[in-house]
Structure 1
Amino acid sequence: MTLLLSLILAICTGPGLSESSLRVRLVSGPHRCEGRVEVEQNGQWGTLCDDGWNMENVAVLCRELGCGAAKGTPRGLKYLPLPDKNQDIVNQQITCSGMEDSLAQCKLEELDYGICTHKEDSGAACDPFPFSETVRLADGPSRCEGRLEVKHQGQWGSVCKAGWNLRAAKVVCRQLGCGRALLTQAYYNRAVQGPWPIWLSWVSCSGKELTLQKCSLSPWGGSTCTHDQDTWVQCEGPFELRLEGGDHCSGRLEVLHKGLWGSVCDDDWGEKENQVVCKQLGCGKPVSRPPHAKKPFVPGVGQIWLDDVRCSGNETSLEQCRHRLWGYHDCTHKEDVAVICSGP
């Protein structure tokens, strides 16, 4: 995460939130995707001050909760029953770009004027239906690769590849919770052609949109394309990780690709990358070894999948970090990455 919440999220009636204990929820609303915003500290839930609270923040919160599109920033007072007057309040201003995966990755600043009361509690309204229910990749080898389909008026239809580019593919991959968009030749399997309509003739995206529906779209229906021109999208699938040779939270790092486990080269690997691995595995924080200590685990055999992995430390999973193309490296297994985390 960008900043440790133990240093930056101070609750006015108690100590700061710790990164490992942070949870977010919406309470007292009509469904789990709308309500008053609360965050947890050591088993105690506190409300969030609404100073600086905006739609970009709500968009991130909706994504974090697995909800659909951000719909509004209602006042927390709207939702009954009201919080207990003694309930903690987070007196911090949160500033998100709208692209983060969680509120913890946003910029968090101390308020330099007074403290909030429960009359200023934040609220959030998200669509209860996830974004992924309006976009899918069909008839491919996985949910992260296939023919692009969008839902309109309750019916799935395809998208013509006219003007399609990597920027638009990035939006789709982000919307589906997959990894990076990959350059791929347009492909369509005629054996699985169906009777569905072609909903969109063209799509134009900047690459920064949260969903495909936020891009510039042609009018729905009325396309002159044929199904031979359907758009095919390929994303990296979510990384599956494991630590071998120790226990669940320590060992030689391996990633799964194309059904085969392989190791990761330690070129440019450091503390930030360790943080992301421990976070993704739910294993706390990395435990440092002496700088010249021998690696504590036996080198792997077979495939070396990744090299030159670079993370900022903000990522929630390794798939969000930069790396060379799968299988391209200049390493031997003597350079396999090993990670030791503090534990679940």
Structure 2
Amino acid sequence: MVLLFFMILAIDTGLGFLDVPHSLRLVGSRRSCEGRVELWKDGQWGTVCDDHWTNEVAAMVCRELQCGPLMSTPAGHIYLPKAQRGQHVWNLKCNGTEETLAECEEDFIECSLDHSEDVGVNCKEETLNFNEVQLADGPSHCIGRVEMKYTGEWLTVCNEGWTLQDAKVLCRELGCGRPILTKGSCNKDQQGTGNIWSGQMQCQGSEASLNDCPFVPMENNCSHKDDIWVHCEERFALRLVDGKRNCSGRLEVLHKGIWGSVCNDGWGEKEDHVVCQELKCGKAVFQKSRARKSFGHGKGHIWLDDVRCKGKETSLEQCKHRFWGYHDCTHREDVSVICSEK
């Protein structure tokens, strides 16, 4: 929470995100909070020797790099690329009162120059703690500009480091399908206003929420031209319309945010059964052709044709059908379904 407070303060004051120190870095890992420790001192980058290295010093490095708590202290030589021969090795002796590694005194006893004694750290990465996320100004809740809500304010998100893995997590969190498009250069009418969150996500793609993803604090050099725009598939949905109850009527399915009807070519009892089960409306009731036409004709899109179910599917989405929107039907052939409701 303290980190997020300063994050918002940095945005509000226009000073950018919390500045990561430029005198300290972790090298050789894909994770920003893990790697071989290297320190900039006296005009050069050098590794750090393990002679006086303790968990307390490693924890200080994690704090200085604005990472989470220390997890482990692996040997520095395991990280690639390995330190170069001739690169300086600092032998540092800390007394525990320092706030940065550069403040530690240097022990002039020489360490191994083959870098076999280099130290590394593995810190836990910080995660987000936003109240809510949304896709704004799009045609549906599954399409739009990425925004995160914190302390009552919606912040747009900078495109720096945004990946398809981040979009997968966001689409999942919003209850949408897979991401179809993610872009970080919004058109003028798609750009947001107000403050911009400029941290870099590091989602793996399997997380349930963006709050579960590690992130890296970054300097805020973004404008609203850099706002992220994401297009997720709509979650599959169906409904029965124009009936007296929710469990009978003309069948419609949701695709690309638009409701459309289903053609009756090849439609039968197995397909009726799957629809009633998915809607939790009991069993399918046999219909005479006249009853099927009692719910009127739809308008607009006919999304599905030649639907073929085995009867054991839990969703109509799992049944075989033509490509979405491809059909040879009119609305006189719209499917209707009557379920028992129990």
TM-score where L is the length of structure 1: 0.46
**Larger Rg belongs to:** 2
TM-score where L is the length of structure 2: 0.46
